């Protein structure tokens, strides 16, 4: 069943440092997804460890925290029908090398460790992850003028 949901998305430090913010946000907007919250910040070690708590103890956890805290990132909340799935399809596989051309990681990344963008993998995790960066009152409500054409 299709329903309007919110998902959590974050442009990582490599996306920002490489000047890809506009290109990536354009793809999210062009798809029909609605950006309802956004911040630009250097993520602290504490925030990064909270965001990626599920990976604590894994071999890539420490390098991941170093990567995420190495420069500014752009966390956002994105809304739409089946937005979790829509964004995951848009960004491609976690390993940029395996991500299809046409996807964000497929077009802009070379490796698993520097994969440009993060997106929640479920509605439940999206709620947990967006709460790391946003208070409920920081998430705005508005209409896209093309909603009547995006959805039946
Ligand atoms: P992301 O979607 O942000 O979720 C966890 C991140 O850990 C992942 O993208 C990669 O940036 C990073 N990572 C590094 N090594 C691995 C690995 N072996 N498996 C999964 N994720 C990894």
Catalytic residue among 118, 120, 129, 130: 118
pLDDT at 2 over 80: no
Tokens at residue 122, please? 């479920």
118 is catalytic: yes
pLDDT in tens, 105-139: 999 999 999 999 999 999 999 999 999 999 999 99
Q: Please, which residues bridge with residue 8 across strands?
A: 77
User: Is 15:74 a contact under the CB 8 Å cutoff?
Assistant: yes
- For residue 23, the model assigns a pLDDT of 98
pLDDT of residue 3: 87
Q: Name the 3-class secondary structure at 131.
A: helix
- CB 98 near ligand 1, within 6 Å: no
Determine the atom of ligand 1 nearest the C-alpha atom of 63.
14
State mean pLDDT over 52-77.
98
Q: Tell me: the pLDDT tens digits for 77-114?
A: 999 999 999 999 999 999 999 999 999 999 999 999 99
Give, to the nearest 10 degrees, the angle between helix 21-31 and helix 83-91. Answer: 130
Domains delineated in the chain: 4-139 (3.30.70.141)
Give distance in angstroms: CA of 32 to centre of ligand 1: 26
**60, 87, 92: which to mutate for ligand 1, most atoms within 8 A of CB?**
60
**79 touches 33 (CB < 8 A):** yes
Hey, what are 46's tokens? 């504490």
Question: Which residues are CB-contacts of 71 (< 8 A; sequence separation ≥ 6)?
Answer: 13, 16, 17, 42
Indicate whether this model's pTM tops 0.85. yes
pLDDT tens figures, 4-19: 999 999 999 999 999 9
Pairing state between β 41-42 and 72-81: antiparallel
């Amino acid at each position: 069943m299709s329903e309007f949901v919110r998902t959590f998305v974050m442009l990582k430090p490599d996306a920002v440092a490489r000047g890809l913010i506009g290109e990536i946000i354009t793809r999210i907007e062009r798809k029909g997804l609605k950006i309802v919250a956004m911040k630009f910040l250097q993520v602290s070690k504490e925030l990064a460890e909270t965001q990626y708590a599920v990976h604590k103890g894994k071999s890539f956890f420490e390098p991941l925290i170093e990567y995420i805290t190495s420069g500014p990132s752009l966390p956002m909340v994105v809304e739409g029908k089946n937005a979790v799935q829509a964004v995951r399809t848009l960004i491609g596989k976690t390993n940029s090398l395996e991500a299809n051309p046409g996807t964000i990681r497929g077009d802009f990344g070379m490796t698993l460790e520097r994969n440009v963008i993060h997106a929640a993998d479920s509605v439940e995790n999206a709620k947990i992850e967006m709460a790391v960066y946003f208070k409920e009152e920081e998430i705005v409500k508005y209409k896209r003028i093309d909603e009547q054409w995006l959805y039946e």
